Amino acid sequence: MDIKLTHLAGATLSLLAVAAVSASEARAQSVEAPQTIPDAMEEILSDQSGNFYTNRSFGRQLGNIFGFGFRDREVLADSANLSREFDALMRYQNTSDPTIRVPDLANPYTASLLTLPSSQVPTVGTEFIFEPF
């Protein structure tokens, strides 16, 4: 009986040692940045059809030769998915608020020709001559 307990204790210790070595380390949660709209649209556009590099792989070339995977149907499915997501995005943007708010573009024109001081003698080369009423 003394020998059996020694084997049992040795097996238990070896299992504990293996469990301690193979235990995964504790990791903090990683916070991923939210996906931007252009990145999401680009991902949708190449979802089924892939990009140039995956389409030029050896497996894709063999599939093209033997008739597996029709690229035109993959492109059609990607464009249909893109159209559906674009419509949903526009619906969300247009129905969330009665006013569509977009940032103003930079404008170099801060005055109009009517507000500029007029002169009786026009400058040579100008095409706008304003006469007082």
| Alpha carbons 129 and 119: distance in angstroms, whole number | 9
Whole-number pLDDT of residue 25: 66
Question: 41: which 2 tokens?
Answer: 């649209």
Q: What is the pLDDT of residue 6?
A: 62
Helix (H, G, I), strand (E, B) or coil at 69: coil
Instruction: Give residue 3's pLDDT.
Output: 55
- Block means of pLDDT (10 residues each) for the chain, 133 residues, are 59 64 65 86 88 82 84 90 93 78 74 65 58 64
Dist. CA 73–CA 86, nearest whole Å: 20
pLDDT for position 82? 94
Place of tokens 């301690």: 20
Instruction: Compute φ and ψ for 119, nearest 5 degrees.
Output: -125, 155
